Amino acid sequence: MSGNIQLLTETLAAAKAQDRSALIAYLPAGFPTVDGGIAAVKAVLDGGADVVEVGLPHSDPVLDGPVIQTADDIALRGGVRIADVMRTVREAFAATGKPVLVMTYWNPIDRYGVERFTAELAEAGGAGCILPDLPVQESALWREHAEKHGLATVFVVAPSSRDARLAEITAAGSGFVYAASLMGVTGTRESVGEQAADLVRRTRATTDLPVCVGLGVSNAAQAAEVATFADGVIVGSAFVKRILDAPDEAAGLAAVRELAGELARGVQRSRPGA
């Protein structure tokens, strides 16, 4: 199976053709339960997200702030397995036909087996993987298997990345580049700031891949701000928080579907001169 990297590429290109940023949502698998997590992923896609990242819960999530750490802890205590992550990808893709990626730290893939993981992700209809802690110079084995199965390899760049390092990272990646809007961990913030715009500008100078911005976007106004300079707007903690704050699962699904709609309207930037 060739995988769905082409679907991801086409989805991002279609958003660009409509003169808007793509909305990319993040939710961890197994949260609040495996079935509840699948329903939540479907809800954000139905609500207006173009792409979804399914998180593989990890016991030491170095990039993630307290909101996603809380969700990961709930999922891990519920016994979530890699098989449940694959099932989440399979059912979300089958139900919506939209690109679904997995966001994971390297250690679980290394333990599971790179060939096994990439083969199962492709078979489930996954579009690729975001690997925030895999150094490019140590990624050859992963990229070999990802390419074989038609999966995107999305690397994360940060404001601290120097231009030469950006070029090295973007040359090795595929699908899109994940630009971390600021130094630190995931979570909602008051402002996404100028650092992100500068990082996008510097990253674009090294690649033709779409550059999508995450870390800190939590509402439609911030999504609209980021949409003025990024190809995609990535939102995670705000979705997770809606589920954590909901009194029951049905309310949580309604809340994330509503937020997806608000954010989707936020990324609809008007054409110049329109």
Return the pLDDT at 182.
63
Q: Which residues are catalytic?
A: 53, 64
Q: Are the beta carbons of 44 and 25 closer than 8 angstroms? A: yes
> Residue 158 sits in which domain range?
4-265
Does 199 fall in a domain? yes
Q: How far apart are CA 193 and CA 190, in angstroms?
A: 9
Number of domains in the chain: 1
Does 133 fall in a domain? yes
237-249 tens-digit pLDDT: 999 999 999 999 9
Does 111 fall in a domain? yes
Residue 148 makes CB contacts below 8 A (sequence gap 6+) with 118
Q: Are the beta carbons of 164 and 140 closer than 8 angstroms? A: no
**Residues of the chain under the 70 pLDDT cut:** 1-3, 61-63, 182-193, 269-274
Does 273 fall in a domain? no
Q: Is 73 exposed, middle or buried (0-12, 13-18, 19+ CB in 10 A)?
A: middle
Does 271 fall in a domain? no
Q: Are the beta carbons of 104 and 134 closer than 8 angstroms? A: no
CATH number at residue 108: 3.20.20.70
Return the pLDDT at 248.
96
164-195 tens-digit pLDDT: 999 999 999 999 999 987 644 444 444 556 78
Q: How far apart are CA 124 and CA 170, in angstroms?
A: 26
